[in-house]
Chain A
Amino acid sequence: MSENTPSDQGYAPAPQKAKSKFEFLRGLTLLGLLLLIWIALSLATESFLTGQNMTNLMRQTSLWAIIAIGQTFVIITGGIDLSVGAIVGLSSTVVSILLKAGFPIWAAVAITMLIGPIVGAFHAFGILRMGLPPFIITLASMTGLRGIGLLLTDGLTITGLPDEFVNFSRESFLGIPALAWMALIVAIPAFMLLHHTRWGRYIYAVGSNAEAARLSGVSISRTIYLVYITSASCATFAGILTASRISIGVATTGESWELQSIAAAVIGGASLFGAVGNVLGPILGSLLLTTINNGANLLNINPFWQRIIAGALIVLIVWLDQMRRKKR
């Protein structure tokens, strides 16, 4: 049996190599673009390459990256989660209310974290049992949850959060901001789940060909529950961290972050048609979006222009990515 395995002039590993090289290249071009922008900003401004600005950049990137990672899970199954921005707003107000009510920090955080599984399970239920498209059910949450947050706070800002809670987001450990560590705490298990467990496999399988997955005995409904709960939980976590960072609870926090997270995932190589994406992509995508905002601020570019630039970059990057994919 052994004689026909190795030296056959088969084409065995070739396509695989081509693929991993290609993946590496894409990561590289995004990194390359980032480096280019960083170098340009370092030369153009005095304040970009300062410790203060770098720390700021990492903090904002971390918050967006956490949401974008959850979003990527949903996108790989071919779905979309428009509710993440509203979840950030709701969880930042809920945690603030609980802290003001005198709950210890650990309890306030633990209770607030329940929002994730509840909202995520609601989305999965709507998609699977009520037959609603992901776009619609999460669109409903996007406005509905925002309303709940405004009702809870009466539209007012909650101030005077405990110092310990507020200081957390300003701390650093080993020279790296605490918020970046939090992003890592999300990213590493997410990476293991997506790339090293059967559940990760099923997420890709459902996005690639749900019928084939079903015929192979894969539970589509469990997979859908898993991704929407993951996405909502990531957003809840980011909401708590955001409350700490801005040291207040405001129901309108995280407005339009759902679009940022989708943009970050797509810039990072995820396909809205499903089955394509990884964990590193949304992190790099968030870093790019944050850099653009940060750089534009430092360069004193009209904030209205910033939006136009970000929009143009999304078109450019995703178009380039698709061209490269086609060539393969």
Chain B
Amino acid sequence: MPPTKPLTSAPSPPHAAGGSNAPLVELKAVHKRFIGTHALKGIDLTLNKGEIHAIVGENGAGKSTLIKILTGAHEKSSGTILWEGREIGLRSPQEALGLGINAVHQEVVLCPHLSVAANMFLGIEEQGYGLLRQRAMIQRAQATLDDLGFRLPAAAPLNSLTIGQQQLVAAARAAMRGTKLLIFDEPTAYLARGETDLLFSLIRRLKREGVTIVYISHRLEEIFELADRVSVLRDGQLVASRAIGETSQAQLIRDMVARSIEQVHHKEAIEKGELLLEVAGLSGPGFKNVSLTVRRGEIVGLYGLIGAGRSEFVQCLYGRQPKTAGRVSLRGTPVKISSEADAIRNGIVLVPESRRDQGLCLNLDVGFNLALPIFQRLSPMGLVQRGAERAAVEKQISDLAIATAGRHAQAFTLSGGNQQKIVIGKWLNHGADLFIFDEPTVGVDVGTKVQIYKIFAELLKKGAGIIMISSYLPEVYDLCDTLHVFRAGRQVAAYAAGEVGHDVILGDAIETQGSRR
């Protein structure tokens, strides 16, 4: 490609400025606290001008919080942020945009109904006599897309493109706007390899033009292909920041998992009973050919990155999605589960991933939420027996030590941990014996975590079996009797408790060199 004019209209050319050698961004002891969690614990991070700086870490290590602080979506709780040596507050997205900070998010944040060109020019439209210069904008957008080698039609509506193509549009759009710092948050999650190559050539070109790039990805080989430096986040702390030539995939994985494991993972020795669930070759939307068994008294863990197909698998098992192949047997008898009601009748219960969207009626009271699955039992003649309802609800509140002003308090007034206790508690009276927990301890404080793990032990002692999905490796590692690793919709490995180390499991879950076709 012959030399081209710069893409971005960033004011100062890269190295021409000469004078200021200050890094573009410096974070000093930046903390971010949310209610109940300490997401960032004193981050010191330096982003040099014109470098591609990769950031890696497990789910929940604090990467998203860090991006949100850099883009002004969240404000830091304490610490200092320097921009070209000058202290800034970074309190709003507008302030970040004004400085030339743009981000391309994992999920495309554009207007699906507008055309590609309209999205690229949204907020910075070209006008003449108060009217839009539509043809000129389409031409310029098309020229930019062609120049980047993206074969995308500028005049087409955005929602006629694939998600991967939309992601490329988002990248081109960010590049077109005066950018000095461009953050890519797992941009390749939905891209095909050809699209990834296009994106990489765009990123390299922006680097040549002096733009600083922050690149977040779980795909370590991409990081070694692209980045100049790589920083590792673990449990809200920056554990290492190295030049790419001085590290290796193995070292990065070790950095990501070597942690101070708090002794919260309560696990009791419980004898395994008979076979409860047997799944053979189950396929459905988002996952393929999954086989596993659950015995009474056993916790089976499903580990993988977000989007690996774990949730899709349990949703199918629970009857929310139709299966395309495979067999499911419960207590030795083949069963056909084609709806949630089927699953519940068969003694399967799902405690969903999002308690706000899927688990609770937030603006109804605690008592209502706890009684919701058993109203049928509480209303033998069609009328709800209020005394029985109150007794059942009060028993759960005291058994689970739910901290609430009472059973009439609305669910949204409770803390995340106590909300989660309601979501779990409402199934405990139901008589199910296979419990599926999808990310049961996300956003839950340590004390409640221990209580939840104790509930697990109680369930197991009563002869239940548990399937637990978690993206937090130490949790599934310590609690599960069998651990299945998922990647890209497939079951890639299975280990008995303690059979291998954290690094092997993380390596299975992440696409490392050789594991990718």
Inter-chain contacts of A14 with B (CB < 8 A)? 153
User: Given that A208-B114, A212-B122, A213-B122 are known contacts, is A12 also in contact with B157, CB under 8 Å in the complex?
Assistant: no
Could you tell me if A15 and B156 are in contact, using CB atoms closer than 8 angstroms? yes
Could you tell me if B131 and A196 are in contact, using CB atoms closer than 8 angstroms? yes
Q: Tally B residues with Cβ within 8 Å of A.
A: 37
Could you tell me if A13 and B151 are in contact, using CB atoms closer than 8 angstroms? no
Could you tell me if B4 and A1 are in contact, using CB atoms closer than 8 angstroms? yes
User: Given that A1-B147, A218-B122 are known contacts, is A16 also in contact with B156, CB under 8 Å in the complex?
Assistant: yes
Inter-chain contacts of A11 with B (CB < 8 A)? 151, 153
Binds B, one of A2-10, A66-74, A117-125, A233-241: A2-10
Inter-chain contacts of B161 with A (CB < 8 A)? 15
Could you tell me if A208 and B146 are in contact, using CB atoms closer than 8 angstroms? no
Inter-chain contacts of A15 with B (CB < 8 A)? 153, 156-157, 160-161
A interface secondary structure, majority: helix
Asked if A197 is an interface residue, CB under 8 A from chain B, the answer is: yes
User: Given that A197-B131, A218-B122 are known contacts, is A1 also in contact with B111, CB under 8 Å in the complex?
Assistant: no
Could you tell me if A208 and B97 are in contact, using CB atoms closer than 8 angstroms? no
Question: 12 more A-B contacts (CB under 8 A) besides A196-B134, A198-B125, A201-B118?
Answer: A1-B2, A4-B149, A10-B153, A16-B153, A198-B127, A204-B113, A204-B114, A205-B118, A205-B122, A209-B111, A213-B123, A217-B124
Asked if A216 is an interface residue, CB under 8 A from chain B, the answer is: yes
Could you tell me if A209 and B109 are in contact, using CB atoms closer than 8 angstroms? yes
A-B contact pairs, 19 of them (CB 8 A): A4-B146, A4-B149, A13-B153, A13-B155, A15-B153, A196-B131, A204-B111, A204-B113, A204-B114, A205-B114, A208-B112, A208-B114, A209-B111, A212-B119, A212-B122, A215-B109, A216-B124, A275-B112, A275-B114
Q: How far is the CB of B128 from chain A (nearest CB, A)?
A: 10
Asked if A317 is an interface residue, CB under 8 A from chain B, the answer is: no
> Which chain A residues have a beta carbon within 8 Å of chain B's beta carbons?
1, 4-5, 8, 10-16, 18-19, 192, 196-198, 200-201, 204-205, 207-209, 211-218, 275-276
* Cβ 8 A contact of B123, one of A16, A209, A216: A216
User: Given that A197-B130, A205-B122 are known contacts, is A212 also in contact with B111, CB under 8 Å in the complex?
Assistant: yes
Q: Which residue of A has the minimal Cβ distance to B146?
A: A5
Q: Which residue of B has the minimal Cβ distance to A5?
A: B146
> Which chain B residues have a beta carbon within 8 Å of chain A's beta carbons?
1-2, 4, 93-94, 97, 109-115, 118-119, 122-125, 127, 130-132, 134, 142-143, 146-147, 149, 151-153, 155-157, 160-161
Could you tell me if A192 and B97 are in contact, using CB atoms closer than 8 angstroms? no
B interface secondary structure, majority: loop
Complex formed: what's the CA distance from A226 to B467 in Å? 53
Complex formed: what's the CA distance from A217 to B131 in Å? 19
Inter-chain contacts of A211 with B (CB < 8 A)? 109
Could you tell me if B131 and A19 are in contact, using CB atoms closer than 8 angstroms? no
User: Given that A1-B1, A4-B146, A19-B157 are known contacts, is A192 also in contact with B111, CB under 8 Å in the complex?
Assistant: no
Q: Which residue of B has the minimal Cβ distance to A219?
A: B123
Q: Which residue of A has the minimal Cβ distance to B156?
A: A15
Q: How far is the CB of B102 from chain A (nearest CB, A)?
A: 10
Could you tell me if A213 and B151 are in contact, using CB atoms closer than 8 angstroms? no
Inter-chain contacts of B124 with A (CB < 8 A)? 216-217
Q: How far is the CB of B70 from chain A (nearest CB, A)?
A: 14
* Cβ 8 A contact of B160, one of A19, A198, A200, A201: A19
Inter-chain contacts of B142 with A (CB < 8 A)? 12
Complex formed: what's the CA distance from A297 to B97 in Å? 60
Could you tell me if B112 and A217 are in contact, using CB atoms closer than 8 angstroms? no
User: Given that A1-B2, A1-B4, A216-B122 are known contacts, is A198 also in contact with B132, CB under 8 Å in the complex?
Assistant: yes
Could you tell me if B113 and A276 are in contact, using CB atoms closer than 8 angstroms? yes
